[in-house]
Amino acid sequence: MQSTEIRYFMAVASTGSLSAASKQLFVAVSAISRQIQQLEARIGATLFERHARGMVLNDAGQILENHVRKSMMDMEFAIAEIQGLKAVRRTVIRMACTDGPAFDLLPQMFARFRAINPGVMFYLNVGTALQVSEMIRSGDCDLALQFSLSPERGVDVLASHPATVRMAMRPDHPLAAADIKLTDLHAYPLALNEPTSTIRQLFDLSCRMSGIFLEPALSCNRFSTLYDFMRETPGAIVACSHFSVLFKARTDGLILKSINIEQLNQRTLQLQTQAGKHRSAALSQFIDFSCDLLARESAAFERDFAL
């Protein structure tokens, strides 16, 4: 179809009459009428109900108008994306996450992305799982990274990785070379997240189903505190996902052990965005970068630590 036909059609649809469209376009009424007739002939259907006081779109006209508007919007987004490529270096990406990813994973991810795009700035909001879910659904952040136990409504999941609960310890720990069971943890200081966290819920559920009671030496809602306690306390063990120590585990020489209990395998780490949300050029680049990093580094970690 010719762009002139579509332009005249949209003018009549928005103004409601040939005369009003003529004034808007500075084109003769007869020329607009001729283009509309040509468009209807090309489509094989009338597009307007013609009345003495104006023209109103019929069902066929409504369908065409909706598609034209969508195409125009897609074109605007495409232009914005192209222009945005030039503006990637002055973009702020707003992220939300639960506490675990904020400790080690996201600082590394931000630093590595900024090495490629040094002008991109990040704003990170760390909250509970409920707070992060609400932030991403309401559009208060562009992207969320959180551990999840169930599907989230109103979000698009861009990446999802199993986030099994592991036991992290120093390399000199007595259990470092052994296969461990929950009962083995009785003798050692445990560092666990606070009771409402997803990892603590799975850990406590596993204990109840195994008929075991384990009281943590330290319970806290900040993983950095749990981690430092484990590093400084002889024999201490901290429960975590390997994603929470994806880079520090190597630099600090940690040992991570799995416990063969089904309940400890129910979490996933999800990269999320608001459903249907338009993405800037910088955000699209960061999403691709993040998905690649998560997949690559997680596979390398599990291979190197024999998980």
pLDDT in tens, 217-251: 999 999 999 999 999 999 999 999 999 999 999 99
For 82-104, give the secondary structure using H, E and C.
Answer: HHHHHHHHHCEEEEEECHHHHHC
Is the distance from CB of 93 to CB of 120 less than 8 angstroms?
Answer: yes
Q: Do 169 and 175 touch, CB atoms closer than 8 A? A: yes
pTM of the shown model = 0.68
pLDDT exceeds cutoff 70 at 150: yes
**Is residue 50 over pLDDT 60?**
yes
3-state helix, strand, coil in the chain (%, to 5): 50, 20, 30
Going by C-alpha positions, the residue among 188, 177, 249, 181 that lies closest to residue 217 is: 188
The pLDDT of residue 90 is above 80: no
Percent of the chain beyond pLDDT 90? 52
**pLDDT over 70 at 84, yes or no:** no
- Backbone dihedral region for residue 48 (phi beyond 0: left; psi -120 to 50: alpha; all else: beta): beta
- Region of 211 (left: φ > 0; alpha: ψ -120 to 50; beta: rest) is left
pLDDT score recorded for residue 288: 94
Residues 144, 155 contacting (CB under 8 angstroms): yes
User: What is the phi/psi pair of residue 198, to 5°?
Assistant: -65, -40
Please tell me the predicted confidence (pLDDT) of residue 1: 47
pLDDT in tens, 200-220: 988 889 889 989 898 999 999
- The strand pair at 190-193 and 155-162 is best described as unpaired
Cα distance between residue 140 and residue 56, in whole Å: 39
Q: Residue 295 in contact with residue 159, Cβ under 8 Å? A: yes
Highest mean pLDDT among 31-45, 60-74, 116-130, 216-230: 216-230
